[in-house]
């Protein structure tokens, strides 16, 4: 690990009480959940259909059995536990230094670690609703259903509250995220390839003093960052002290 860069990160964190974190699937790989675009990510595994196709709205409507086979197998990781990155971000919030976590993840691990102000841009596997009557179901209900989960009240198909390809993002969550990023002094971006829009475009609203990028792979934004760290994000945050 590049300890000089860890020291720089510590200094940046020590010097601010208005930090915002923007993250993606790479934040949860150290919790055992595969991301999409790493070498061992879901996009490099072989399925009957490309993952981008399976997790699209039209595919969900046309072939819900195939959708749920993939979803339950690869995206519902209900036993996963937060890692040091999730835990340290929760600690920073509690200490009054971090204002919000803005995440593209759908795994609920930030909240499980204790974070309160979490903007879930792409929703959460923990919430599921009947597409006909709106009845709520938890993730266990979906996991334990055979094939496609059906509403116990009306028989309608149950859909996870996650944003599939071809679906729009929640306006309220988007505008709150813009507002957090626009007023942040430090923006830490971690574990995201920054290629999924409109989420990745949110960082253009940042006008603060320090931009930090913690990502194993190179991103298009590396050149504009004040500090770029390529070590695993959980290991990086495990080195950070919260004062």
Contact (Cβ atoms closer than 8 angstroms) between residue 186 and residue 8: no
Spatial neighbors of 3 by CB under 8 A, at least 6 apart, are 239
How is residue 196 written in tokens? 């999924």
Q: Strand 227-229 to strand 210-214: parallel, antiparallel, or no bridges (unpaired)?
A: parallel
Binding residue for ligand CNA, selected from 122, 126, 128, 158, defined by CB under 6 A: 122
Each residue 131-170 as x (binds ligand CNA by CB under 6 A) or -, in order, gives ----------------------------------------
Residue 120 binding ligand CNA, by CB under 6 A: no
Please report, as residue ranges, which positions from 21 to 60 form the binding site for ligand CNA (by CB under 6 A). Answer: 24-26, 28-30, 33, 35-38, 41
CA distance 160 to 196: 20
Contact (Cβ atoms closer than 8 angstroms) between residue 140 and residue 114: no
Residue 124 binding ligand CNA, by CB under 6 A: no
> Which phi and psi (to 5°) does residue 31 adopt?
-95, 5
Binding residue for ligand CNA, selected from 92, 107, 211, 237, defined by CB under 6 A: 107
Please report, as residue ranges, which positions from 86 to 105 form the binding site for ligand CNA (by CB under 6 A). Answer: 104-105
44 is catalytic: no
Q: How many residues does the chain have?
A: 243
Could you tell me which stretch among 7-15, 62-70, 153-161, 230-238 binds ligand CNA (CB under 6 A)? Answer: 230-238
CA distance 106 to 33: 11
Query: Minimum distance between the CB of residue 10 and ligand CNA, rounded to whole angstroms?
Result: 18
CA distance 57 to 163: 9
Among 44, 57, 86, 122, the active-site one is: 122
How is residue 116 written in tokens? 């309160």
Could you tell me which stretch among 4-12, 88-96, 177-185, 210-218 binds ligand CNA (CB under 6 A)? Answer: 210-218
CA distance 46 to 239: 36
Residue 111 binding ligand CNA, by CB under 6 A: no
Which residues are annotated as catalytic? 122
Q: Give residues in contact with ligand CNA (CB under 6 A).
A: 24-26, 28-30, 33, 35-38, 41, 104-107, 122, 191-193, 196, 214-217, 232-234
């Amino acid at each position: 690990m590049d300890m000089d860069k860890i020291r720089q990160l510590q200094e940046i964190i020590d010097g601010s009480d208005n930090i915002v974190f923007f993250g993606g699937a790479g934040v949860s790989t150290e919790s055992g959940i595969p991301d999409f675009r790493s070498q061992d990510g879901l996009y490099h595994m072989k399925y009957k259909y490309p993952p981008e196709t399976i997790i699209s709205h039209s595919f969900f409507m046309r072939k819900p059995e195939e959708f749920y086979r993939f979803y339950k197998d690869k995206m519902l990781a209900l036993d996963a536990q937060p890692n040091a990155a999730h835990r340290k971000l929760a600690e920073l919030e509690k200490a009054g230094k971090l204002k919000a976590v803005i995440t593209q993840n759908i795994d609920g691990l930030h909240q499980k670690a204790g974070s309160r102000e979490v903007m879930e841009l792409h929703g959460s596997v923990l919430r599921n609703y009947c597409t006909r009557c709106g009845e709520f179901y938890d993730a266990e209900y979906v996991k334990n259903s055979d094939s496609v989960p059906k509403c116990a009240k009306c028989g309608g198909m149950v859909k996870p509250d996650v944003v599939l390809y071809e679906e729009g993002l929640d306006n309220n969550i988007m505008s709150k995220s813009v507002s957090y990023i626009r007023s942040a002094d430090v923006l830490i971006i971690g574990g995201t390839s920054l290629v999924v829009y409109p989420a990745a475009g949110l960082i253009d609203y940042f006008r603060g003093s320090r931009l930090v990028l913690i990502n194993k792979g190179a991103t298009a934004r590396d050149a504009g960052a004040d500090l770029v760290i390529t070590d695993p994000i959980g290991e990086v945050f495990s080195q950070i002290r919260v004062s």
